[in-house]
Amino acid sequence: MIGFGRVVRSASVLAGALALMAPGVMAFGADGPYTVLDKWVIGGTGGWDYLLADPSMHVVYLTHGPRVEVVDTTTGKAVGAIADLKGTHGVALDSEGKYGYISDGGANAVVVFDRKTYAKVNSIATGMNPDGLLFEPVTKTVWAFNGRSNDASVIDTATMKVVATIKLSGKPEFPAADGKGFVFVNIETKNSIVKLDAKALKVVSEWPLTGCESPSGLAMDTVGRRLFSVCDGKVMAVTSADTGKVLKLAKVGDGPDAAGFDAKNQVAFSSNSDGTLTVIDTKGDSYAVVQNVATPKRSRTMAFDSGTGRVYLLAAEYAPAAAPTAAVPKPRPTVVPGSYSVIVVGKK
């Protein structure tokens, strides 16, 4: 995942985002039930990548360049930060409520912090550019998926040391854990998904995601044993976590990057660069689009909060891109300083 592009247009676009897109709406009807409920302005400068909700503590962690912001989900206000990092990507949380972990890609390290004080307590060297990150509860290990060395660094949380480095077939993206000792990760450059055994510390399967190009975001239904990978070409690949069979290629918006799954309501989410949050019905086998929520353009990074049933998306405003040059033929628009925000989507 490339974090700098998860941004939005001007305030006028945000005003438009308070309406819902009617095209493609099926089971819920044109009005909802999901809508943009709030916008939390966080401010600051720099790019961003993953975000992670912690329902138990009522906070959401936002990676933001050289720091991670901690925002209270009841007030929308920042309550802390882990700062002085090199280039943050992902956040993982242990199951005891004690420590959190940050993939600091610029430092080739995973930084450990105290979840009550937000103080840094350790820095653990990993492979090159750790990106996707998760805590595996059975083995109590943290898995850092390294985007440049194409491998995974496995950290024992008791000793805070790397106990294994597992080679992968290509560039890893989002990971997911099933809670039973297995870890899954999309391989962006191979259009595949890998299953790893957290106890044996090895790859046990690699399955092609036929019809899915450049898979990025990944979410999991741990009860129904289904994986949801979002891909280029407006596709979400639904895969069996046991057999690797692609069950369905569901339609989503353009430029998807992150995915989520709501076990209570049996819907999957895809956050898309085109300014939509696609909601997919997962109760049957049709995987129909039940709603496309209008969101700010480029707000393609999201986290699902199982405690509130809400989706948080990262956004900002853009200044016009510079004129193309020979050195930079496709310049990106620049982020307006102070416009970094969280868009809150939920039921009315």
List, for residues 163-204, the tens digit of each pLDDT value. 999 999 999 999 999 999 999 999 999 999 999 999 999 999
pLDDT at residue 55, as a whole number: 97
Assess if residue 107 is contained within a domain. no
Assess if residue 124 is contained within a domain. no
CB 272 within 8 A of CB 297: no
Can you give the CATH number for the domain in which 278 is found? 2.40.128.630
Terminal Cα-to-Cα distance of the chain (whole angstroms): 31
Assess if residue 111 is contained within a domain. no
Assess if residue 302 is contained within a domain. yes
CA gap 132, 311 in Å, rounded: 19
- In degrees and rounded to multiples of 5, residue 335 shows phi and psi of -75, 135
Assess if residue 344 is contained within a domain. yes
CA gap 256, 174 in Å, rounded: 13
- In degrees and rounded to multiples of 5, residue 34 shows phi and psi of -85, 140
CB 151 within 8 A of CB 109: no
Assess if residue 56 is contained within a domain. yes
Assess if residue 97 is contained within a domain. no
DSSP string across 44-101: --S-EEEEEEETTTTEEEEEETTEEEEEETTT--EEEEE-S-S-EEEEEE-SSSSEEE
Question: Which amino acid, one-letter code, is at 307?
Answer: G
pLDDT at residue 32, as a whole number: 62
Tokens of 9: 């247009």
CB 94 within 8 A of CB 100: yes
Residue 315 has pLDDT above 50, yes or no: yes
Mean pLDDT of the chain: 91
Low-confidence winner among 20-24, 72-76, 132-136, 183-187 (lowest mean pLDDT): 20-24
CA gap 154, 127 in Å, rounded: 10
269-310 pLDDT, tens digit per residue, is 999 999 999 999 999 999 999 999 999 999 999 999 999 999
Distances in Å between the Cα of 52 and the Cα atoms of 100, 162, 202, 266, 312 are 11, 23, 26, 20, 9
Give residue 281's domain range: 1-80+209-348
pTM of the shown model: 0.89
Assess if residue 17 is contained within a domain. yes
Tokens of 286: 């049709």
The number of distinct structural domains making up the chain is 1
